[in-house]
Structure 1
Amino acid sequence: MCVDRRDVGLLMLRLGTGAVLMSHGTQKLFGWFGGGGVEGTAQFMESIQYKPGTVSALASGVAETGGGALLAMGLATPAAGAAAAGGMAGAAAVHAPNGFFNTSGGLELPAVMGLITTSLAVMGPGRLSLDHVIGHTLNRDWMVPAALGVVSAAAAVVVGARQRRLAAAQAEESAGDSGDGE
């Protein structure tokens, strides 16, 4: 097997990105690294209008932990990258009202992670990967648009439902403020 610097670079990118995703995902699933575990994450998800909270916590945690682990190994790269990108789309929607930069709670980190995971799904894992070892049976060209299309549609539905709940809550709050007699 001839390994070139592109393969080494993809391995480094997959390992680093996968480690970041896995650490965030295990916070949600297991409470590791100061996270809330499923229960605490579910409460948070409910508070930001991702409902039901437990399902949202599990979906987010699995997308990050599972997607990150698969990306790090270079296994099922189109599905892994798409799943992680979908999770980052949901996170970016939460952070978007705070602007771009992370210093103000903005969407910088989830946007960059989403771009990286989508790029890995499109580029593939390189030769230093389990996909390469097993003959790319889980990394076919047709899988890239299929995985990204399915995840994009699901993310649009989930984020759209959240946006509608936020708008309804804001309208209800505004109606309550105008009807309090002041």
Structure 2
Amino acid sequence: MVNGHGLDMALLILRVAAGGFLLPHALGKLFGWFGGPGLAGFAGELRGFGLPAVAPLPLLLALLQVASGLAVLLGWQTRIAALAAAAFIAFTALLALPKGWFWMRGGTEYPLMWTLALLAIALAGPGAWALDGLALPGDIA
């Protein structure tokens, strides 16, 4: 059985991994950082999947991914942020279905794994070591 501190550490590790892996991809879409496509390239990716890519949709989607990744990482509004991120990545998993299971062939395996990790965070909550757990001045104990 995992004690409270062990569970809190596990949730911290899971949050840091999920938010930390999501955030660079999001920043790549938004700013072109880390070899990412930037907004114009992201719009092209959306069009390549037959999805709408008119402004401001690529910007809004990239901002959603940045905000949810950062919020999960920090444990702020964690359940909502993890659900938003899971929805985003689940859609990516659906788009990858035609390529099969294995990620090495562009399949759904990797985005599905992150979708499930984010859903686990949404269900379990952030744990004690998160911004959600900080008591603010004036909070009633």
Q: TM-score, normalised by structure 1?
A: 0.69
CA distance 1:105–1:86, shift in 2 (3 Å): same
Quote the residue 2:62 is aligned against: 61
Kept after mapping to 1: 8 A contact 2:29/2:62? yes
Displacement of 1:9 after TM fit?
1.1
Deviations 1:90-137 (A, max 9, x none): 2112111011111111011110111111110110000001101047xx
Distance 1:115 1:53 in 2: 30
Displacement of 1:3 after TM fit?
5.9
How many correspondences in the alignment? Answer: 134
Please tell me the residue identity of whatever aligns with 2:91. G
The answer on 1:123 being equivalent to 2:124 is yes
Quote the residue 2:139 is aligned against: none
Q: TM-score, normalised by structure 2?
A: 0.87
Q: Mind listing any 5+ residue stretches in structure 1 that lack a counterpart?
A: 136-182
Distance 2:10 2:24 in 1: 21
Displacement of 1:56 after TM fit?
4.1
Quote the residue 1:88 is aligned against: 89
Deviations 1:113-170 (A, max 9, x none): 11111110110000001101047xxxxxxxxxxxxxxxxxxxxxxxxxxxxxxxxxxx
Distance 2:106 2:20 in 1: 22
Which of structures 1 and 2 has the bigger CA Rg? 1
Quote the residue 1:105 is aligned against: 106
Kept after mapping to 1: 8 A contact 2:82/2:122? yes
Displacement of 1:66 after TM fit?
1.1
Distance 1:24 1:54 in 2: 20
Quote the residue 2:75 is aligned against: 74
Please tell me the residue identity of whatever aligns with 1:83. A
Displacement of 1:72 after TM fit?
0.8
Deviations 1:19-67 (A, max 9, x none): 1100110111010011111111111211211103444423432232211
CA distance 1:55–1:48, shift in 2 (3 Å): farther
Larger helix share, 1 or 2: 1
The residue correspondences of 1:129-140 to structure 2 (distance < 5 A) are: 129-134=130-135
Quote the residue 1:154 is aligned against: none
The residue correspondences of 1:1-182 to structure 2 (distance < 5 A) are: 4-134=5-135
Distance 1:41 1:134 in 2: 39
Does 1 or 2 have the higher relative contact order (CA < 8 Å, sep 6+)? 2
